[in-house]
Structures are given as structure tokens and as C-alpha cells.
């Protein structure tokens, strides 16, 4: 991961000019698809993501049904044209992992017990990837679920932080993710600051981890405001 030949931070500024605690530009629009029950389009730096929700509807085959709650499943997919080297279409280890951790995080907020025997499908399509797509996808999916009118305890807000050179910074860009020392994506329930996803790639000391965690939670709190604003706009423009 780390590459000492690439100077990722110089005079306190990162490659794209950001400060250590500055997020990339984020835009979210809820309600972008006619045929989904809920949807959202999200831009996060150069990431471009669509999330679509279908359901709740009856789950088939029937033996998968749970009479006590709905089954929430998630499919994270990267388009073939979303990355520099063409991505081979179809699921792979990475997309299966991201689908799983995303579904696990969303199950913490969706009130699944309200829909026995049902399924809620969440699709995340990465149209353009530039690091941090699991966070971008999860933030979009949470807005799409709320847009679908599915009862939730909270939104899920996300952000990464990590270490580049000797500095701990928020929201790693592509080069920072590729050549940095460590990357910590998190997802929180913003009102209670409860963590529903936390992963780490690379190595950090305890102190560095604490700093990264704090920066990522602050970042996710900013993302929460953008998510709420996107939902408030529905039916407006
Ligand atoms: N990436 C890529 N090809 C792949 C998978 C990932 O070019 O098959 C890039 C993409 O820009 C992605 C980044 O590597 O955003 C970091 O991927 P990672 O697995 O760390 O997940 P992410 O940061 O997107 O959540």
C-alpha cells in the first residue's frame, strides 16, 4: 500500500489541495428512479453512485421467509467502466464482502420487524469509482431507504479516515488510498453515534487510530447533514 516515493502531503496540503480534515465535495439527490420504491444519486468527489430500493414485498422462495421480520439484502456492484482498468462484470470477493457489510449496517436501522415474510432489496451501482465507494454506496442506500418510506431508527452516515505519509487525514482520495499507509471506513447512526461498520486496511498506532476515528465520525456527521437536506428536497424541486 505505502509508497515512500509519492509525496501525498506537502506544506499541510494534500494532492488535491484539501486540508487534513476536509471532505471532498458531496452532492446527494433523492428520488431519481421511476421504477424503484426509493432511490438516490450521490456524487462524492469523483465517485458516482446510484442506490435503488425495492420492497418491502413478499419473499420468494417461501422457505426463506421469516415470520418475525423482513429480510434485507444488498447487492453492491461496480460497473465495468467505473474504474481505470475495466472491471470484469459480475460479483467478486470484494463486491460480496461490501454487499455483506453494507447489508449488516442497514439492518441495524431498518425496522425489519414491521414487515414479516417480506424482502427489502437494496441495489448499489458504482458508476464511477475513486476510493471510498463502500461509504458512498452505504450513504446513498440509506437515503434511498428513507425515500422509499421504510421506517428507520436513524440514517446511516459514513466516512473514511486514514494515514498518508505521517499524517492522519479524513476521506482518502484515490492516490491516498492506493499509496497511503492505512484506510479506516466507518458508518455510524448519527444521532447516537453508534458504529455499524468499521474496517481497517493497513496499520495504525492506537493514537493514530483514535485520531482517524474522530475525523471519520466528524466527516460522517457532515455527510448526515447532506443526507437530511437531500431528503428534505424531495417533492420540492
Ligand atoms: N478499485 C479499482 N478496481 C477494483 C476495485 C477497486 O480500481 O476492482 C479502486 C476504486 O477506485 C476503489 C478503490 O480502488 O474506490 C478502493 O477500493 P477499496 O476496496 O479500498 O474500497 P472503497 O475504498 O471503494 O470502499
Please count the structural domains in the chain.
Answer: 1
Domain membership flag for residue 2: no
Listed range (7-16, 130-139, 175-184) with the worst mean pLDDT? 7-16
Is 11 inside a domain boundary? no
Residue 137 included in any domain: yes
176 located within any domain: yes
Dist. CA 178 → ligand 1 center (Å): 9
Q: Tell me if 1 is assigned to some domain.
A: no
Nearest CA owner, ligand 1 atom 19: 94
Task: Give the Cα separation of 158 and 171 in Å (integer).
Answer: 10
Q: Ligand 1 pocket: which residues have CB below 6 Å? A: 83-84, 87, 94, 129-134, 174, 177, 185
Q: Is residue 6 situated within a structural domain?
A: no
| Ligand 1 atom 14: residue of nearest CA | 131
Atom of ligand 1 nearest to the CA of 131: 15
* Ligand 1: nearest atom to the Cα of 84: 7
Average pLDDT rounded to a whole number, residues 214-226: 98
CB 103 within 8 A of CB 190: no
Q: Which atom of ligand 1 is nearest to the CA of 137?
A: 25
Interval 75-97: pLDDT, tens: 999 999 999 999 999 999 999 99
The verdict on residue 8 lying in a domain is no
Q: Whose CA is nearest to atom 12 of ligand 1?
A: 131
Residue span of the structural domain in which 118 resides: 17-236
- Rounded distance between C-alpha atoms, residue 171 and residue 184, angstroms: 9
- Judged against a pLDDT cut of 90, whether residue 227 lies above it is answered with yes
**Model-wide pTM > 0.75:** yes
* Predicted local distance difference test score (pLDDT) of residue 109: 98
Q: State the distance from the centre of ligand 1 to the C-alpha of 217, rounded, in angstroms.
A: 21
Residue 180 lies in a domain: yes
If you average pLDDT over residues 118-144, what whole number do you get? 98
Which of 84, 177, 202 is the pocket-test mutation for ligand 1 (most atoms within 8 Å of CB)? Answer: 177
Under the banding of pLDDT at 50, 70 and 90, the label for residue 115 is: very high
CA of 177 to the centre of ligand 1 (A): 8
Per-residue model confidence as pLDDT tens digits over 94-111: 999 999 999 999 999 999
Banded model confidence at residue 5, pLDDT cuts 50, 70, 90: low
CATH number for the domain spanning 179: value is 3.30.230.70
Report CA-CA distances (Å) from 136 to 49, 156, 169, 234. Answer: 7, 11, 17, 20
Amino acid at each position: 500500500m505505502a509508497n515512500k516515493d509519492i509525496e501525498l502531503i506537502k506544506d499541510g496540503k494534500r494532492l488535491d489541495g484539501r486540508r487534513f480534515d476536509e471532505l471532498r465535495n458531496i452532492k446527494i439527490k433523492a428520488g431519481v428512479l421511476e421504477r424503484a420504491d426509493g432511490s438516490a444519486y450521490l456524487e462524492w468527489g469523483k465517485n458516482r453512485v446510484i442506490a435503488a430500493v425495492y420492497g418491502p414485498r413478499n419473499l420468494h422462495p417461501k422457505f426463506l421467509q421469516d415470520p418475525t421480520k423482513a429480510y434485507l439484502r444488498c447487492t453492491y456492484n461496480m460497473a465495468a467502466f467505473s474504474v481505470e482498468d475495466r472491471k470484469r462484470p459480475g460479483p467478486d470477493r470484494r463486491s460480496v464482502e461490501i454487499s455483506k457489510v453494507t447489508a449488516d449496517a442497514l439492518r441495524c436501522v431498518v425496522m425489519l420487524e414491521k414487515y414479516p415474510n417480506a424482502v427489502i432489496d437494496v441495489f448499489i451501482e458504482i458508476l464511477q469509482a475513486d476510493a471510498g465507494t463502500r461509504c458512498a454506496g452505504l450513504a446513498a442506500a440509506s437515503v434511498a431507504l428513507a425515500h422509499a418510506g421504510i421506517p428507520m431508527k436513524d440514517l446511516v452516515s459514513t466516512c473514511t479516515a486514514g494515514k498518508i505519509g505521517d499524517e492522519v487525514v479524513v476521506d482518502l482520495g484515490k492516490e491516498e488510498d492506493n499509496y497511503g499507509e492505512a484506510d479506516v471506513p466507518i458508518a455510524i447512526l448519527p444521532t447516537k453515534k453508534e458504529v455499524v461498520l468499521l474496517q481497517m486496511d493497513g496499520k495504525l498506532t492506537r493514537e493514530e487510530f483514535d485520531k482517524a476515528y474522530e475525523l471519520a465520525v466528524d466527516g460522517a456527521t457532515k455527510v448526515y447533514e447532506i443526507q437530511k437536506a437531500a431528503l428534505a428536497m424531495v417533492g420540492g424541486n
